[in-house]
Amino acid sequence: MSYALGLDSSTQSCSAIVIDVETGTVVAEASVNFGERLPQYNAPNGFIPDGADGEVHADPLMWLDALELLLEELKDACDLSKIGAISGAGQQHGSVYLNNRWGKTIQSLSPELSLAGQISPCLSRRTSPIWMDTSTSVECHEIAAAVGSDNGVCAKSGSIAIERFTGPQIRRFYKNDPEGYEKTARIHLVSSFMCSVLCGADAPIDTGDGAGMNLLNIQTWNWDFELLDATAPELKRRLPMPMQGKIMAGRISKYFVSKYGFADNTPITIFTGDNPSSLVGMGASKPGKLVVSLGTSDTFFAAMPSVVADPHGCGHVFGNPTGGSMSLQCFVNGSLAREEVKDKFGYDWDQFTAAFSNTPIGNDGNVMLPFFRPEISPRMDIDAPILNGSESFVNWEDADAAIRACVEAQVINMKLRTDWMQLKPEVIYLTGGASQNDAIAQVVADVFQAEVQRLTVSGSVALGGALRAASKSLGVQLSDLEGTFCKAEPGSTITPQVRPRAYAATVDKLAVLLHS
Ligand code: XUL
């Protein structure tokens, strides 16, 4: 058996990839979009719209229905009995609340009935808060106060108490619905919930996803008693064990063997969060390479040479599912900011790109803080960019200079905010919508003084699951798998063109704007 399956239960869809490690090929891929395929859940974008007070929830039964549709499709595309290894990932921070029927129920699922129908009576909270939820500011303050300070929470858990993280979410549930909390026997993350259903038994939480809870101590990689106490009473017994991402969670349950034709006893490697999984799927699981994803918001993550927390409390430390730790930092003003600057001048993307040829590096001293909405790295509560430079530039009359200023500042800010990670990147893997733009890629190479590559990989989260599963259960080295499945697009490499000090004046001016 040389196939490995990787699953990705993400915000908007559930996806799968099957790879063959003998031939080094992708055998099948499938994806089920929640909004399109399961309209009965009224979640066009994967979450229930219009939640009160910043609440953003999703129905965990929708994730189960999607898993069944996905496996149905996958079964038509390839022979699932050839799969010898399974793993996967879930959107980070989301949590599922289960009563004391859960354990027995998943052990004895009937293939005649649906997963959702059988697991529905096990939910002690009908819906699951997900990472987009911002309803827990009060709880974040309470947790920080109980531990002593934001920095105290950050030093312990790798992040300050943050609204979307699971601990503050659990605390809010405990405060608002104490009876519901009392009836909760088990709290899973999306990743460990999906993994448990597949195994037919409670799966551990991996340290990659577990560190997104404000509950796991990043020095011991175990639950932190002080953080548990600050969050909710008797929480430890409600949580699965935290485990490093290389262990086996269990073997596939009979339900999936008889319903979808998996081989008996197929081993399942513990699931992780989508970002830690993507680190593996991008081929960046060892220090020296880092990933910059240019999406709606920009995300920066990398395997870390040692465990350090961000002294400014903006970044995150998670477990690296292949061992050690990884860092992650989000920048809210990513593609949306680039798009707003483009749209201000009625430009298309070709004109946007041409702006870089029409302007010099350093932009003749024209500098912009390109924050159109409140930023989290660094935390700044502003809703319009701040400009400094020539009169036409500050009056938004110089389109080309505005475009260069936006991108230069985004990338320099990214470099400054991630210095705490102490990385010395040799290669930066650029991914996400804007990553194909060579002009942007050149700025990244110049600012970071590292080679930039674009990979052929799409769906790095599911691929990361398949690679982790294969290295655990099919006896193939992860480095060999990364060499086969995570290749640079031919001709896509960009090398730095300028000296390290080329941006010194821009960095100084930006620092002034950041503190203005
Ligand atoms: C990371 C985060 C998101 C989710 C959903 O902290 O909140 O990236 O993992 O993708």
pLDDT tens for each residue of 399-440: 999 999 999 999 999 999 999 999 988 899 999 888 989 999
Taking the centre of ligand 1 as the mean of its atom positions, its distance from the CA of residue 92, in whole angstroms, is: 5
Q: What is the pTM of this model?
A: 0.93
Distance 258 CA to ligand 1 centre (A): 34
| Closest atom of ligand 1 relative to the 132 alpha carbon | 7
Of residues 335 and 264, the one with the higher pLDDT is 264
Using the mean position of ligand 1's atoms as its centre, give its distance from the Cα of residue 502 in Å: 33
Q: What is the pLDDT of residues 123-140, one digit of tens each?
A: 999 999 999 999 999 999
Q: Can you tell me the mean pLDDT for 197-222?
A: 98
| Average pLDDT of the segment spanning 244-269 | 97
Whole-angstrom CA distances from 185 to 180, 230, 354 are 10, 19, 58
Which of 275, 277, 291 has the most ligand 1 atoms within 8 A of CB, as the residue to mutate? Answer: 275
For CA atoms 92, 47, 435, 278, the dihedral sign is: positive
How does pLDDT run across 16-73, given as a tens digit for each residue?
999 999 999 999 999 999 999 999 999 999 999 999 999 999 999 999 999 999 999 9
CA separation for the pair 83, 398 (Å, rounded): 57
- Poorest-pLDDT segment among 20-24, 478-482, 495-499: 495-499
Helix (H) or strand (E) holding 462: helix 460-473
List, for residues 380-394, the tens digit of each pLDDT value. 999 999 999 999 999
Q: Is 25 helix (H, G, I), strand (E, B) or coil?
A: strand
Which string of b and e fits 173-196 if b means at least 16 CB within 10 Å?
bbeeeeebbeebbbbbbbbbbbbb
Atom 6, ligand 1: which residue's CA is nearest?
92
pLDDT for 314 equals: 94
The Cβ of residue 52 has, within 10 Å, a number of other Cβ atoms equal to 6
- At 235, which amino acid appears? L
The predicted model gives 465-483 an average pLDDT of: 97
Tokens of 148: 């002593």
For residues 285 and 463, is the Cβ–Cβ distance under 8 A?
no
Q: What angle is formed at CA 398 by the lines to CA 397 and CA 404, rounded to 5 degrees?
A: 140
Helix (H) or strand (E) holding 20: strand 13-20
C-alpha triplet 159, 163, 166: angle, nearest 5°: 75
Torsion of CA 233, 239, 243, 244, to 10 degrees: -80
Closest CA to 131 of 214, 249, 16: 214
Q: Are 5 and 466 in contact (CB under 8 A)?
A: yes
CA distance 152 to 284: 30
- Please list every protein residue whose CB sits less than 6 Å from any atom of ligand 1: 11, 91-93, 131, 164, 212, 273-275
Alpha-carbon span 503 to 298, nearest angstrom: 21
What residues form DSSP beta bridges with 325? 304, 319
Phi, psi of 328, deg, nearest 5: -150, 135
For CA atoms 51, 55, 56, 62, the dihedral sign is negative
11, 13, 92: residue to mutate for ligand 1 pocket, most atoms within 8 A of CB:
92
Confidence check: pLDDT of 516 > 80 = no
Residue 515 clears pLDDT 90, i.e. is over it: no
Residue 499 pLDDT exceeds 90: no
What integer is the mean pLDDT of 304-330?
94
Atom nearest to 316 CA in ligand 1: 6
pLDDT tens, 279-308?
999 999 999 999 999 988 899 999 998 899
- CA distance readout (Å), 45 to 39, 50, 256, 373, 501: 10, 12, 28, 22, 44
Spatial neighbors of 499 by CB under 8 A, at least 6 apart, are none
Mean pLDDT over 77-93 rounds to: 97
* Element housing 316 (H / E): strand 316-319
Cβ–Cβ contacts within 10 Å for residue 247, how many?
13
Tell the residue nearest (CA) to atom 7 of ligand 1.
Answer: 131
Q: Give residues with Cβ within 8 angstroms of 166, minimum separation 6.
A: 93, 94, 95, 187, 189, 212, 213, 214, 215
As a whole number, the mean pLDDT across the chain is 96
Q: What percentage of the chain reaches a pLDDT higher than 70?
A: 100
What per-residue confidence (pLDDT) applies to 94? Answer: 98
Distance from CA of residue 283 to its chain's centroid?
15
3-state secondary structure string across 59-126 = CHHHHHHHHHHHHHHHHHHCCHHHEEEEEEEECCCCEEEECCCHHHHHHCCCCCCCHHHHHHHHECCC
When pLDDT is cut at 50, 70 and 90, the band that residue 311 belongs to is: very high
Q: Sign of dihedral through CA atoms 309, 97, 86, 454? A: negative
Burial class, 369, CB count within 10 angstroms (exposed 0-12 / middle 13-18 / buried 19+): buried
Q: Could you give the dihedral angle defined by the CA atoms of residues 359, 362, 365 and 368, in that order, rounded to the nearest 10 degrees? A: 90
pLDDT of res. 250: 98
For atom 5 of ligand 1, the residue with the nearest CA is 91
Q: Residue 37: in which H helix or E strand, if any?
A: helix 34-37
Give the per-residue pLDDT at 283.
95
The residue whose CA is least distant from atom 10 of ligand 1 is 91
Mean pLDDT on 72-97: 97
- In sequence order, the β-bridge partners of residue 8 are 15, 89
Is residue 122 predicted with pLDDT exceeding 90?
A: yes
| pLDDT score for 448 | 95
